[in-house]
Amino acid sequence: MNPIVPSRRDFLKGAAAAAAAGVVPMSLVKLAFADPAQDFTFAYISDAHIQHISGTKFVRNWDRGLIRAVAETNLLTPKPDFVMFGGDLGQLGTKAELDHGAEMLSKLRAPLHCVMGEHDYYLDLGEHWSKLFGPHWYSFDHKGVHFVVLNSILTHDEWTYNRWPSAEERMLQMAGLDNPNGSPFMVGEKQRAWLKADLDKVAKTTPVVVFSHSPLQKLYKGWNFWTDDAEEVQAILAPFEKANVVYGHVHQIQYNQIGNISFNAVMATAWPWPYPNSYAQAQHTMPVLTVPMNRADPFFERDATGWQFIDVRTGRVALKYNLYNNTARTVAWNPATGKPEDTAFQDPAKRVPPQVHY
Amino acid sequence: MKRKIAVALAAAVVLAVVGGIAIQADEFTKKDQERWEKEYMSVVQKGRELWTSPQLGTNGVACAQCHPNAANTHPETYPKFQQQLGRVIALREMINWCIQQPLEGKPLALDSPDMVALEAYVAYERRGVALAPGKH
C-alpha cells in the first residue's frame, strides 16, 4: 500500500489528537504524485494579526489563535515537510509585534517560509520583517513542485513615499480594511519581471504553486480583496498546465478557477471577515463558484477559523476544511466541469441557512 | 339654542387653534431638511470615527477590525431573539456585548450619545435594506 496516501488515516489520528485540544486554524497541504516516494505535505497558517497593547501586553484573542495553530500543526501526522505563514503576522508592523509573532512561530517543528502582508510592511517597508524572515519574494523547489512567494501588497510609489507625514500614519491608513484613504495592492513591474524570468526556467508541465497575501484576482476593491495587476500576473502563470494560487488576507473560504489557474484562500487565525456581498453599498465580483462558509458566531472566539487539508494529487487542489463549530467542508477539483466545487454544498438546494450571508 | 351656538363657536375656536398649530408644524422648508440631514450625518460621522477607533475598548481593537463598513451587523433584523443570550435584544445590547468581549471595554449607557452615534453609523451603512425584524 502506498505509504503516504493512506496517511489520511494517520492524519486523522493527528486530527483526533488535535480535536482534544480544539481544532486547527491552519491548512495542511498535501501534494501527491505518481511516484508515492515524492508525496509530501505542508501546513499553512495565516493572518495572525498579533497586536501590541503596551509593555508586555498583547491582544489575548489574537495571541491564542496563533499559539493554537502552531501547537496543533506540531501534532500533525505525517509531519509536514514545511510550514507556510501567509502574511499579516503583526497588526501595525512594529518590532514588538513581529518579534512576539516570530517567537510563537519559533515553536514550529518544521522549516518555515513566510509571505509578506500589508500589516507587516507599511511601517518600515518590510525592513524588520526581512531581518526575521528573509527576502520579500523568492522561489524554491520541493520534490518536483515549483513554489513561488510574491509580495503582492505593494502599491503606487506616490502613496508609499510621498503621501503621509510619518511611517506610523502610513501604517495606520493601510491597516484599516475599509479605509477609503488606502491604496490598491499590486505586485508591480519589477517583481513581475522577476517572476517571468524565474518561471522561464521551469517546465510547463511542472506543478506551480504561488503564494501571495492578496488574492491574485479582482474580487472587491473596497477591502483590497484585489490585486491591481492581477491580469498581468495571471498571464505569466497561464502557460502552466497546473498552476495554483494560495492566498490569505481575506480571512474566509474562497475558491475560483480562471483558465488553468486554481485559486484558494486560507482562513485567518485571528478573526473572520464578512463576505463582500454582505456590505449593502458595495459593488463586487465574488467568484460565483464559492459557496460561503457559515456565518461566524461571535460568542465562539475561534469560530469561522479552521484548517484545510489540501490534496494536490492530480496537480489540482482538493481542500478539506475542518471547521470549529460547523460541518466539515470539502472543495475538490471536478474533472467533469473543470472547476473546483464543494462536494456537498455546491448545489444551491443542498445549502444550509447559515451559508446565506446578507 | 344660544348655548348650542356658544358650544359650537368654542369648538370652532379650539379646532382653529389646534389646526393652526398643525399647519404650522407641516411648514418646514428645504433649508430645514438640509439642516436635519446635516445634523444626522454629523452623528453618523461621529459613529464612523468611534467604529474605527480603539477608544471604545482597552486593548486597541476597533469594531471595524471584524466589521468593515459595519458589515455583518444586520441592524435590520433587530430587535431579535439572540440565541446566544436566550432573549430578544436590541442592536445596542449586541454593540455593548462586542465592546465588553472582543474590545475588553466598559459597556456604554444605552441612551448615551456615543451609542446613538454607533447605531446611526451601522444603520447608515445598511441603508436601502428592508426591515426584517427577528430574521436569522
Rg (CA), chain B: 23
Q: Name the residue with cell 514550529.
A: A108
Is A1 part of a structural domain of the chain? no
**Chain B interface test: which of A59, A63, A118 (most B C-beta within 10 Å):** A59
Interface test with A, best of B63, B69, B78, B91 (most A CBs within 10 A): B69
* Residue A190 is assigned to a structural domain of this protein: yes
Question: Which domains, ranges and CATH numbers included, belong to chain B?
Answer: 30-125 (1.10.760.10)
Q: Write the CATH number for A118.
A: 3.60.21.10
Q: How far is A332 from chain B (nearest CA, A)?
A: 28
- Give the containing element (helix H, strand E) for A97: helix A95-105
Domain that holds residue A84: 7-355
CB burial readout A110-123, b (16+ within 10 A) else e: eebbbbbbbbbbbb
Asked if residue A298 is part of any domain, the answer here is: yes
Residue-level pLDDT, tens digit, chain B, 136 residues: 556 665 555 555 555 555 555 556 678 999 999 999 999 999 999 999 999 999 999 999 999 999 999 999 999 999 999 999 999 999 999 999 999 999 999 999 999 999 999 999 999 999 999 999 999 9
Nearest residue in chain B measured CA to CA from A281:
B125
What is the tens place of the pLDDT at every residue in A12-62? Answer: 334 434 433 334 445 666 665 545 556 677 888 999 999 999 999 999 999
| Residue A178 C-alpha, separation from nearest chain B C-alpha, in angstroms | 5
| Assigned domain for A157 exists | yes
- Judging contacts by C-beta atoms under 8 Å, the chain A residues touching residue B59 are 51, 53, 57, 59-60
| Chain A CB within 8 Å of residue B29 CB | no
Nearest to B61 among A51, A57, A299 (CB): A51
Is A180 an interface residue toward B (CB < 8 Å)? no
Residues in chain B within 8 Å Cβ distance of A222? 69
- Nearest residue to A101 via CA among A72, A59, A73, A134: A59
Cis amide linkage into residue A354, ω under 30° from 0: no
Q: All 3 cell numbers of residue A267?
A: 482562513
Say which residue the cell 518590532 belongs to.
Answer: A95
Q: Is residue A342 part of a domain?
A: yes
Is A354 in contact with A295 (CB distance < 8 Å)? yes
CB A265 within 8 A of CB A291: no
Whether residue B68 and residue A177 make contact (CB cut-off 8 A), yes or no, is yes
Least confident range from A22-36, A103-117, A251-265, A283-297: namely: A22-36
Is residue A160, in this structure, part of any structural domain at all? yes
Contact assessment for residue A268 and residue A232, using Cβ atoms and an 8 Å cutoff = no
Look at residues A65, A105, A27 and name the one whose alpha carbon lies nearest to residue A266.
Answer: A27
Indicate the number of domains in chain A: 1
- Contacting residues of B for A280, CB less than 8 Å apart: 125-129
Contact indicator for A224, A184 with CB cutoff of 8 Å: yes
Three-class secondary structure of residue A213 per DSSP: coil
Residue A263 placed within a domain: yes
| CB pair distance less than 8 Å for A59 and B60 | yes
Query: Which of B59, B64, B136 lies nearest to residue A53, judging by beta carbons?
Result: B59
In-domain check, residue A2: no
Supply the pTM of this predicted model: 0.87
